[in-house]
Amino acid sequence: MKLVVSLAQMAVMAARPEENLKKSEDLVRKAVERKSDLVCFPEMWTTGFAWDRSAQSVRANEKAIERVSEMAKRYRVWINGSLCAPNEEGRASNTSVLFDPKGACAGLYRKTHLFSGMREDEHMAPGNALCVADAPWGKTGLSICYDIRFPELFRTYALKGAKVVLSPMAFPYPKLHHWKVLVRARAIENQIFMIGTNQVGSEDLGTEGRLTYCGSSVIVDPWGEAVIEANETDEVLLTATIDIGRVDDVRKTMNVFGDRRPGLYELG
């Protein structure tokens, strides 16, 4: 099956959800004009990280989720990205939601690996479950940014039948090289499509300093080749067509899963 994907690489305005949502709708409209089936946004794309404001206004952020749901329904398109949203206990959680063209939640994943280096663990509640969503193009795993450093998550998704993993990102300098290597490694070792959508621009995190995001949003195919890739600095809407059948073709070429020795691995 062919899937048309648009990556919305954008600079997020901290604690200004209305402006971010307006920009997002313009990008969704353009993506639909390009016949996109799926539009992907970065990590925390409606608020940025602005801990002092986004976590405190977590209930208000529910309105942003409703807006994105309405957007998906209005434009009849799948939408993914991560937002600050309340979990079951009402605590702020970095949450990736996959909306279907009816505006329904087809998959929800709360970030399980919180980045202590940016004090995310002090402001966000961690998720306790993974998510493989059913979509017309095949099973799709949800992950968020720092998760890319934990290969067990992606192998679990592959073993559960995922052919695509969506990764909203807020990857900063000086870690651009890490991002480029890790996203390709996760695609190659699991023979899946990795779709990573990163932020650009800068954000002031107060005592944590100022971050500048390194863009380079990318779709990597199961052989590790970039289908399409953005530059490091520009806000851009990238659109590409991928053939999900490529996953099965690569897995027939190299029998990684059949050659595994799970009885030998110690993953405690």
123 has pLDDT over 80:
yes
Q: Which residues are catalytic?
A: 43, 111, 145
| Residue 197: predicted pLDDT | 99
DSSP at 49? S
Q: How far apart are the two ends of the chain, measured CA to CA in Å?
A: 37
Instruction: Tell me phi and psi for residue 35, to 5 degrees.
Output: 70, 30
Q: How confident is the model at residue 50 (pLDDT cuts 50, 70, 90)?
A: confident
Residue ranges of domains in the chain:
2-261
pLDDT in tens, 226-241: 999 999 999 999 999 9
Hey, CA dihedral for 150, 190, 136, 37, is it positive or negative?
A: positive
pLDDT in tens, 71-113: 999 999 999 999 999 999 989 999 999 999 999 999 999 999 9
Distance CA 171, CA 191 (A): 23
In this prediction, what percent of the chain has a pLDDT beyond 90?
87
Reported CATH class of domain 2-261 = alpha beta
**DSSP characters over 205-266:** -GGG-EEEEE---EEE-TTS-EEEE--SS--EEEEEEEETHHHHHHHHHS-TTTT--GGG--
